[in-house]
Amino acid sequence: MEEHLRHSLSNHPNPFQSVHHSPSRSERMTRINEGSTTALEHELTTMQQHRSGSSSDEEGAPPPRYTPQNDPFRLASKLKTEDEIRQMKANTSRKRDSTTGANKGRKVASMVESTTRLGKQAFITKKLQGFYESQNENIERMLKPVEEHRRAARELNIDNRLKYRIAVYGSFAANIILSIIQVYGAVSSGSLSLFTTMADAVFDPMSNLTLLLCNKAVNRVDPRKFPAGKARIETAGNICFCFLMTAVSFILIAFSIRELAEGSTEETQSFHLPSVIAVSVAFATKLALFLYCWALRNQVSQIRILWEDHRNDLFINGFGILTSVGGSKLRWWIDPMGAIILSVLVSVLWLHSAYGEFQLLVGVTADTNMQQLITYISMTHSPLITAIDTVRAYTSGPRLLVEVDVVMDADASLRATHDVAEELQIKLESLPDVERAYVHVDYETTHKPEHFLKKEL
């Protein structure tokens, strides 16, 4: 399972994906220290703040921002600055220049070998730089307060609300108009390739309606009837739509095979220009919708499905135009053969999407970055937690279920263990991608697992 699978399929707002820009270390340190941290809460007294401020004025250096209390593992000390990362590249460049100068006058084979070696070295250096950039992002994410994660996700939802409505309702209106246009194009021409594009266009408004109904169902929940919410209905709706499109493709394959078996007395089919123009208009409209949904495809579940639909429609309409024109200008069998190829490819694409959605329902492990964040929050939540026994995070539809087993002193009171576990549970559930969190308290780590993978009936 790829690391990005859950977000590429569930596609809910993912505040843990860093924007690819490289702020300076001072900017990162300032941003990390705003608000409370995920580590142990530690507030400086007024006297300590005054003392640190005086020290800063006297020595000309900024006051210490991290202490063993709010950064117990000293993660901030492992951040690499931009200069340090660039220095890796600069060192490699100097080696490349010196080696190139030393190899002047050698044979062509030696120069090629040297160039290959230096190219490989540059590739390794690039990967090394990427590793440290990724490590900086991971450290920033761990030291970022949970409240900041929530605020970022909330702002992302607010910013994308209008874009979401434009994408969904705009696609819905455009698909209704395009379906009428493509029905005319297919019926007037009689081309099976255009019938394939027509079938896909007719079912597009149905898919938009399904997504809208699923979204409304998720937002309207009766807690007495659905105590765990209805977020998984989005995944179920996506699966139903995938199989619906696959069934339509199979029907078109059957019609195309029948036409190929019956044959034709004419070498080519009749050419109908208005039909080609109608499908070309649909192609241009789908291209505009595809480009609009591109930026939001990894942030909102429904827009991801729309983006995939527009992507498939671009290929279907483009290939359908080519095979329809080919059947009327070159050979008659190009049209039904193109319809078969289109239908098979559409079926493969949608079955692949359905497989990914099935995995979300079954429960696939969360990506490594998310597991690291959950583990760090649990480790640094309270000094009463002496160890972490188990951390599990897995999908349950578009979001995650989290199970954490923490170890506390066997002599700790019930009140203390309850309060620590409940606070940790609330903190984990406040993460935007977490549906539900379960915190179990134990006093040792030598026992057998509490849960079994196989349940006997």
pLDDT at 87: 77
pLDDT at 401: 94
Given a cut of 50, is residue 9 above it in pLDDT?
no
For residue 160, name the pLDDT band (cuts at 50, 70, 90).
Answer: low
Q: What single string gives the DSSP state of each residue in 59-125? A: HSSPPP---TTTSTT-GGGGPPPHHHHHHHHHHHHHHHHHHHHHTTTS-HHHHHHHHHHHHHHHHHH
Q: Are 205 and 245 in contact (CB under 8 A)?
A: no
For residue 149, name the pLDDT band (cuts at 50, 70, 90).
Answer: low
Q: Which CATH code is given to the segment(s) 150-362?
A: 1.20.1510.10
Given a cut of 80, is residue 118 above it in pLDDT?
no
Of residues 131 and 13, more confidently modeled: 131
Of residues 116 and 444, more confidently modeled: 444
Average pLDDT in the 158-180 region?
80
Average pLDDT in the 439-449 region?
84
pLDDT at 108: 63
Given a cut of 90, is residue 179 above it in pLDDT?
no
For residue 193, name the pLDDT band (cuts at 50, 70, 90).
Answer: confident
Of residues 159 and 338, more confidently modeled: 338
For residue 411, name the pLDDT band (cuts at 50, 70, 90).
Answer: very high
Q: In terms of pTM, does the model score above 0.85?
A: no
pLDDT at 97: 47
Minimum mean pLDDT range among 59-68, 244-253, 312-321: 59-68
Query: Could you give the CA distance from residue 151 to residue 121 in angstroms, rounded to a whole number?
Result: 42
Annotated domain spans of the chain? 5-143, 150-362, 368-442
Q: What single string gives the DSSP state of each residue in 218-241? A: HHS--TTT-TT-STHHHHHHHHHH
Angle at 14 between CA 36 and CA 358, to 5 degrees: 135
Average pLDDT in the 194-198 region?
81
Given a cut of 90, is residue 271 above it in pLDDT?
no
Average pLDDT in the 69-90 region?
73
pLDDT at 92: 47
For residue 241, name the pLDDT band (cuts at 50, 70, 90).
Answer: confident
Of residues 160 and 103, more confidently modeled: 160
For residue 394, name the pLDDT band (cuts at 50, 70, 90).
Answer: very high
Given a cut of 80, is residue 50 above it in pLDDT?
no
For residue 32, name the pLDDT band (cuts at 50, 70, 90).
Answer: very low
Percent of the chain with pLDDT over 70: 72
Q: Work out the mean pLDDT of the chain and round it to a whole number.
A: 74
Minimum mean pLDDT range among 64-78, 180-194, 272-286, 302-316: 64-78
Of residues 77 and 370, more confidently modeled: 370
Of residues 455 and 246, more confidently modeled: 246
Q: Which residue, among 76, 92, 197, 97, has the nearest Cα to 139 in the 3D structure?
A: 76
Given a cut of 60, is residue 43 above it in pLDDT?
no
The CATH superfamily assigned to 368-442 is Cation efflux protein, cytoplasmic domain (3.30.70.1350)
Average pLDDT in the 409-434 region?
92
Question: Do 150-362 and 368-442 have matching folds?
Answer: no
Query: Could you give the CA distance from residue 299 to residue 310 in angstroms, rounded to a whole number?
Result: 17
The two counts, helices (H) then strands (E), for the chain are 13, 3
Most confident of 142-146, 153-157, 163-167, 322-326: 322-326
Q: Are 248 and 199 in contact (CB under 8 A)?
A: yes
pLDDT at 457: 44
